[in-house]
Amino acid sequence: MKELLKNRTFRKTFLSYTLILGIPIIIFSILFMYTMIQEEQKKIYESYTMDANRIRRTVDDKIMELKDIGDRLSNKTWVRKSLINTDIYKEEFDLFKKQEMKQELQHAIGESGILSFGVIIYPEQKKLLSPWGEYTTEEFFSTVSIFDPSIKELVDQSTKEYHILNILSPTTISLWGNKRQVIPVIQSLEIANQPRAVLLLFIDPFYLSSFIHRMAGSSLSYFKIVDEVETNIYTQNNSVKESQDFEKLLAFNLDSEVCQWQYFIYYPNTILTLHFPKIVSTLVSILLSMFAGIIVAFLFAKVSYKPLDALLKKITNTLQYKPVEKQKESLWEYRWIEEFFDHLVIKNQNLQEAMDGYKKAAKSNMLLRLLKGYFQGDGLTQRLQELDILYTDEMYYSILLIHFSFLEEKQERSLDERKREFMILMILEQVMSQPHIQYQLVEVTTTDMIFILSSNQSFDEEGTFPIKDIKDQLEKHMGVIPDIIQGPVEKGLLGISKSYYGANEELQYILFHKKNMVYTQETYHSDFYYYPTDWEVQLINNLKTGNIDTLTRILDEIKQENEKRNLSHEGMTNLLTIIMETILRVIKELKIDGRIYIKQFTSKIEIGNIEELWAYIYEVGSLICERVQYSNAPSTVEVGNQILLYINNHYASPEMSLKKLSEVFNMSVSKVSKLFKEVTGINFYDYICRLRIEKAKELLREESFELSTIAQQVGYEHVYSFRRAFTRYEGIKPDEYALQFSSNLNTK
C-alpha cells in the first residue's frame, strides 16, 4: 500500500474515486439530515396546529358555556313568568322566591369561571334582576353599574334586538364605585324580534386571562384575541420583545366558530431537541459510510491501476527500459509512458531506416539475381512488387553494359575521376530517356555499369535504342568513349539473365579482340557453350532439394540457348559432359552409388546421339529429384541405399528378385518394393532390367560373346527372355544393336 501511494497516478485515481464516492455520501447525509429536519418540523407544525386548534376549541367551548347559561335560564319557570308584564304571578314572586331567583342567577354566573357578574333585563318592564336584587334599569345603570354613555346606548339598542350571543367590545364600567374592565355579552332569552328578557353578562378579562393562561400553557410565544373590529380582547406574550420577532415565529390565524373573535397564536420556530442516541447513531452512520467509501475507493483505484502497473512492469522488466525520472521520489507514470513511447518512436525511426536500407539492399540483390538468372517463379512477381520492381513475365528486357576501360587498373579513384564518372551517368540518363523504355541502373563493379532496359513492347528493331547517341554525347562532353554493348531483347524475367550473359560474352569478345586474340566473333560463339556459373549453382540447389519443375526449366533454358548458338557436335558434347559432372557431384554428396549412371552416360557418349544425351540428363535429374522427395527419414535413406548397393552388386544373378531382397533384409516383399520406389523413384523391375540391358550393351559392343552367353552373364536364364527385354527397352533386337554399333565404328 505504501508503494502504491508513492505513485502520483495512483494517488490521483484514489482521490478521484474518493471524491466520486464521497460526494454522494455527503449529499446523501445532507439529504438525510434535511429529511430528518423536515420530518421534525412537520411533526412540530402538526403539534402546533393541534395545540392551536385545541386552544380555539377550548375558548369557544367556554364561550358556548355562556350561551348554555342563557339557555338554562330561559327554560326556568320563573324567567318565563317574569316575561309577562301583568300582576298574575306577582304574588308568586315573594321575598323568598326572589332570593331563590337571585341565587340561581349567581350560581349560573359563578359556574363559568370567567364572568364578573350578570343581569336579566326586562326591556318592556324597564327592570332587571341582578345578583344584588331587582332594580329598575335606570336605577341600576346609574347607581350600581355605570357605563360610558356610548356603551350604554349600544347596550340599550342591543337589548331591543334578538341576539343568540352578541359579545361586545371590552369597556370600562364603574361597579359600586369601582372601575373595572368588562366584556359585555348579550343573549336574548326569548326568540322574538323584540325579546322581553335579555341576559347581559360581563366577562372579567382577568378571569378570562387566568383561564386561557392555564389552558394554553407556556409552549406558545404569543397569543392574542381580537373581535370583529380588531379590538384587543386578550394578549399573552411569553417571548416576543420586538415586532421583528414575529417573523421568526410560526403563526396560526384562526376564526372562532361561535362568535366574531379571531385567535392569533404564535409558536417558536425551532426544531425540537433530538434525542441524544439518535444524533449519535446518525453521526456514526455517516462516519462509517465515509470510511467504507474510502476503502471502496482504494480498492477501485487499485483495480484501475493494475493494468497500468502491469504495463509499467512490462516496460521495465521485459523491455528493459528505465525512465529518466526513475530516481525521483514521486513518479508520474504517464510521463514515464510518454518517455517510453518517445523511445519507441526513435527506435521505430531507426528500424524504419534499417528497413529502408534492407529494402534497398534486397532490391539491389534481387536485381543482381535477375541478372544471374532467377528460376524460382512462385511468388516472384509479388516479391518484385514488394521491392518496387515493376517487372513481369509479359515484358521485354535487354541489358545495356557499359565498360569503363580507363578505370580498370585503379583500385582507388581521385575526386576528379569520380566527378567525371558522375557526369557520365548524367549524360547516360539524359540520352536514355525514351518514352516507352524504362531503365534500372545496377552497379556491379568499379569498371562496369549495367542498365536493365524494360518495356511492355518489343524494342529489338535496329536503331530503336540510341547507343550511337550515347557514344556521341560522351565523346562530346567528356572526351571518352567507353565500350557500350546492348544484349539481345528477351521476353520474360529469365530473359534478363540471358540478355546479360549475351552482352557479357560480347564484351569479352571485344576485350579479346583488343588484345589481338586470334578469334573471330563466329568462332568465339561456336566454341563456347552457354552454361553460366549462377545457373549451375541453381541447378545443384534444385537437385539437392528435389525441385523437379525448376530443374527441368533450367535444363530447358540451357538447351534452348545453346541450340540458338549452333554449337558444334564437340561443343554440345562438352556442355552435356559438364552438366553430367555437375549431376554426379550432387549424387556423390547425396551418398548415392553413381557407377550405373557413369556407365550409362559413357555408353551414350560413345553412340554420339545428342538428343539421347539430353534425354538421359533429364532422366537422371528427375530420378535424383524423385529420390530426394521420397526420402522421408534418414533411416529410410540408409536402408534404401543398402538395398540399392546390394542390387548393383548382384543384379546379374538369376535369383535377384523382391522375394530374395525380402529374405536378405528381413522385410516383407511389399515393404521392400515400396522402400525401393521411395529411394530411386522407379520400380524394382524397371531398375534391374536397365542395369542388365546396359551391361548387355557393353558386352555386345565387344563382339566376343554369343547372345546366350551374354544373357546368362546379365542374369537371364533364357535367350528368349533376354531378347524380349532388350527389344522393349532399346527398341531394336540385340544382334541388330551390335551390327549398328559396328557400322558406326567403321564409318568413323
Give residues with Cβ within 8 angstroms of 289, minimum separation 6: 25, 28, 29
What is the residue type of 195?
P
Q: How far apart, in Å, are the Cα atoms of 497 and each of 186, 509, 561, 578, 691? A: 143, 18, 11, 20, 39
Q: How far apart, in Å, are the Cα atoms of 421 and each of 204, 417, 430, 477, 505? A: 140, 6, 14, 12, 24
Give residues with Cβ within 8 angstroms of 404, minimum separation 6: 421, 424, 447, 448, 449, 480, 482
Q: How far apart, in Å, are the Cα atoms of 132 and each of 116, 128, 145? A: 13, 11, 11
pTM above 0.75, yes or no: no
How far apart CA 518 and CA 506 sit, in angstroms, is: 15
CB 692 within 8 A of CB 600: no
Domain that holds residue 135: 76-210
Q: Is residue 491 situated within a structural domain?
A: no
Q: Is residue 382 situated within a structural domain?
A: no
SS3 state at 218: coil
Specify the number of domains making up the chain: 1
Q: Is residue 329 situated within a structural domain?
A: no
- The per-residue b/e assignment along 700-709, b for 16 or more CB within 10 angstroms, e otherwise, is bbeeeeebee
Cα-Cα-Cα-Cα dihedral sign, residues 324, 327, 328, 331 = positive
pLDDT of residue 514: 62
Give residues with Cβ within 8 angstroms of 406, minimum separation 6: 480, 482
Mean pLDDT per block of 10 residues along the chain (748 residues) reads 69 81 82 80 86 90 89 86 72 78 87 89 88 89 87 84 88 89 90 88 89 80 87 83 76 89 86 59 81 84 76 67 50 69 81 79 81 69 82 86 65 56 69 68 70 80 62 72 82 84 77 55 57 84 84 88 84 89 87 82 86 90 81 62 85 88 87 79 82 86 80 87 85 83 64
Q: What's the CATH number where 192 sits?
A: 3.30.450.20
Q: Is 516 exposed, middle or buried (0-12, 13-18, 19+ CB in 10 A)?
A: exposed
β-pairing, 396-403 with 438-443?
A: unpaired
Q: How far apart, in Å, are the Cα atoms of 589 and each of 62, 311, 543, 544? A: 138, 53, 11, 9
pLDDT of residue 672: 86
Q: Is residue 181 situated within a structural domain?
A: yes
The residue assigned the cell 367551548 is: 61
Q: Is residue 409 situated within a structural domain?
A: no
Residue spans of beta strands (DSSP E) within 542-685: none
How far apart CA 147 and CA 175 sit, in angstroms, is: 9
The residue assigned the cell 516479391 is: 383
Q: Is residue 81 situated within a structural domain?
A: yes
Q: How far is CA 653 from the centre of its chain?
A: 78
Taking residue 623's Cβ as centre, other Cβ atoms within 10 Å add up to 19
Phi/psi at 173 (5° precision): -125, 165
For residue 360, what is its C-alpha cell?
Answer: 534497398
Looking at the DSSP assignment, which residues form a beta bridge with residue 222? 237, 266
Residue spans of beta strands (DSSP E) within 216-362: 222-226, 232-237, 249-255, 262-268
Q: Is residue 191 situated within a structural domain?
A: yes
pLDDT of residue 199: 92
CB 158 within 8 A of CB 201: no
Q: Is residue 723 situated within a structural domain?
A: no
CB 72 within 8 A of CB 201: no
How far apart CA 531 and CA 575 sit, in angstroms, is: 8
How far apart CA 690 and CA 688 sit, in angstroms, is: 5
Looking at the DSSP assignment, which residues form a beta bridge with residue 121? 128, 198
β-pairing, 115-122 with 490-491?
A: unpaired
How far apart CA 380 and CA 189 sit, in angstroms, is: 134
SS (H, E, C) 160-195: CCCCCCEECCCEEEEECCEEEEEEEEEEECCCCCCC
